[in-house]
Amino acid sequence: AGVAMAEGEGLVSVDYEVSGKVQGVFFRKYTQGEAKRLGLVGWVQNTSHGTVQGQIQGPTARVRELQEWLRKIGSPQSRISRAEFSNEKKIEALEHEDFQILK
């Protein structure tokens, strides 16, 4: 995606699911904003069972920052009870163009 990566900083992809009061509190919009601020790509969407899920891709250190944000901060009105991460893997190139909110 035309982003110059620092030497030795690999790219990772990780899936996430956040539980708590995370729907109807602009959680997706804030997640997208934070991801873009960190230069990450991926997606976020509400699930039918009241959680928010998605995927993050980017430089490892930046991905860690967003994981921490998803675990502790979220949107101003949200109350996060749990953030789970899965399927973490190293990737050679980003698989998304940007960070999207999926319906």
The CATH number corresponding to 21-96 among 3.90.1150.10, 3.30.930.10, 3.30.70.100, 3.30.530.20 equals 3.30.70.100
* pLDDT given for residue 45 in this prediction: 98
* pLDDT given for residue 103 in this prediction: 86
Residue 4 has pLDDT above 80, yes or no: no
Residue 6 has pLDDT above 90, yes or no: no
Among candidate residues 28, 37, 62, 82, the one labeled active-site is 28
Rounded CA separation 51/44 (Å): 11
Residue 71 is among the residues annotated as catalytic for this protein? no
* pLDDT given for residue 3 in this prediction: 57
Q: What is the pLDDT of residues 44-93, one digit of tens each?
A: 999 999 999 999 999 999 999 999 999 999 999 999 999 999 999 999 99
* pLDDT given for residue 43 in this prediction: 98
Among candidate residues 37, 46, 64, 71, the one labeled active-site is 46
Rounded CA separation 18/36 (Å): 19
